[in-house]
Copies of this chain bind each other. A is one copy, B any other.
Amino acid sequence: MKMWDGRFSKPSDALMEQFHNSLPFDKTMIEEDIDGSIAWARALKNIGIFSQQELDEVTNGLKGILDDFRHGEITFLHSDEDVHMAVERLLVERVGDAAARLHTGRSRNDQVATDTRMYVKKKLIALQSLVEELQRACVIRAQSDIEIIIPGYTHLQQAQPILLAHYWMSFFFALQREKSRIEHAIEITDIMPLGSGAMAGSGFNLDRDKLASDLGFSSVSYNSIDGVAARDFILESLSALASCAILISRYAEDIIIWSSKEFSFVEIDDAWSTGSSMMPQKKNPDSVELIRGKCGRFVGNYMRFATTCKGVGLTYYKDLQEDKEPIFDSLYQMEMILKVLTQVLLTIKVKNESIQKNLDPFLIATDLADYLVKKGMPFRQAHKVVGKIVGFSVESGIALDKLGYQKLSEFSELYTKDVEQLFVWETAVNNRDIPGGTARSSVDKQVEIALSMLQQ
C-alpha cells in the first residue's frame, strides 16, 4: 500500500518500484528528514493540528527511529519508495494515528528540498574546514621550505628561480578563492523552502520564520514555486566542488612530475604510496594520481545534473530526483581528497639536494636582460642581446654562469664585473621583491597574510 494510491486501481509493477526507489541513496539524509519532521510537527502543534501529547508522541517516535537507524536496527521494505515515506511508515507503525497528521500541509516536494538543503549545507560547512586544513598544510610547508630554491616553470621549461615556499603559497591563495565559492554555495543553499507545499504554498499558515530558525536556516524562500523547483543550490555546490577539484588536479600534476626519478624534487611518504604487483622496484605516487583522476567525477557530476536540469519545466518533475547521487558523491569524495592531500603535503619529503643539482643557469636569463634595462637599454633590445648570449651558450656548451663578464661584455658593453652576482640564486630570487613576488621578504609577507586569513 502506498500513501498516495487512493485513486489507483492497480499496484506499481515490481520493476517500477525498483526503478524509481530512491531509498538506497536518500536514506543518507534520514537525520535531516527527521529533524525536519520534528520541527514541522511543532509548527503543526502551534496551529492546533497536534495536541501537546500527540506532538510528544510524534517527536519521540521520530527520535526513536533515528536512534534505531543509527544502531542498524531499522529494516526497510521494498515498498518504501524513499526516506520520507519510509520514516512516515515507521512512525505510523510506532505511534499510530498521530503520525497520520504529520504530513498535513506538507508535500514531499518541499520536504525533500528542505532535507537536501540541510544535508548539503552541513557537508559544505565541513568541507570549508577541510579546505582550511589543507591551507594550513601549505603554510606549514612554506615555513619549513622557506630556504629552498627551485626552478619555476612555464611550459614545463625552467623559467626563473623561485622559493619552494612561494609555490606552496600560490596553492594557499588559490584555495582561499575555492573557500569563497563554497561559502557562496552555502549562502544559496541556506534558504528554507518548507511551507511551499506541493508548489502553491501550504494550505496551512504556519510560521515559516519560526520553522527556519528551528532548522537553522538563515532565511525562507520568497516564492513557493521557486521553493519547490529550484535546484540551483545543487548545481552551484557541484560547480564549486568541481572548481576545487580542477585546481587540485593542477597541483597533483606537478607533484606527480616532481616525484619522477628525472625530477626527483619530492618523495611521497610510503604511507601514501603504493607498489606494483609485478615490478618489485616500483613506488608509485598513487594517492596523488587518484586525486588527479577523481577530478573527472566532480566535473562529470556537475555535467550530469546540469544535463538533467536543462529544459525541465516548472515545478517539480521526477527528473529532479537525480539530484542526490551526484551531490552526495561529490561531497564525500572531496572530503576524502582534502584529507588525503593534506596528509600527503605534511609528510612529503623534499629532496633539496637533487633540486639544487637541477637548477639551470639559464634561469638567470631574464635577470641578464633586466640588468641591461636598468642600465638604460630598451627591453626589447636587451631581450635580443640575451637571446644571442643564450644561443652562444647552447652552441659552445659553456654554461651561462661560466661565461664570465668579459665574454658577456662582447654582447653588450653594459655588462661589467658586477653582473656575475646575478648568478647567485638568492640574488635572483630576492630581486623579485615586488608584492606577490618570490623574494624572501615578499614570501614572508604572504605567509603573514595567510596566517591572518586563517584566523578570521
Contact = CB atoms under 8 A, between A and B. Distances in A.
Interface stretch (A64-72, A121-129, A224-232): A224-232
A317 B282 contact: no
Copies in the complex: 4
A385 to B, nearest CB: 8
A196 interface: yes
A270 B2 CA distance: 13
A154 B315 contact: yes
A155 B317 contact: yes
A170 B100 CA distance: 31
A157 B434 contact: no
Contacts of A312: 250, 253, 293, 311
Given A6-B387, A180-B188, A225-B170, A282 B155 contact: yes
Nearest to A364: B281
Interface stretch (A376-384, A401-409, A413-421): A376-384
A83 interface: no
A200 B300 contact: no
A199 B152 CA distance: 7
A364 B321 CA distance: 26
Contacts of A13: 271-272, 343
Nearest to A5: B275
A378 to B, nearest CB: 3
A316 B154 CA distance: 5
Among A15, A242, A289, A313, the one with the most B-chain Cβ atoms within 10 Å of its Cβ is A313
A299 B293 contact: no
A157 B260 contact: yes
Contacts of A8: 270, 273, 275, 283, 387
A423 interface: no
Contact of A221 (B201, B294, B391, B436): B436
A438 B200 contact: yes
A9 interface: yes
A430 to B, nearest CB: 11
B281 A365 contact: yes
Among A236, A365, A383, the one with the most B-chain Cβ atoms within 10 Å of its Cβ is A383
20 contacts: A2-B275, A4-B387, A12-B272, A15-B340, A84-B277, A105-B373, A106-B278, A109-B278, A153-B314, A166-B223, A173-B221, A174-B229, A195-B435, A202-B437, A221-B436, A251-B314, A279-B365, A281-B400, A290-B319, A293-B319
Question: 7 shortest A-B CB distances, which residue pairs?
Answer: A6-B387, A300-B304, A201-B437, A293-B319, A296-B308, A4-B275, A100-B378
Given A157-B283, A203-B432, 5 more contacts: A15-B343, A16-B271, A103-B380, A223-B446, A300-B307
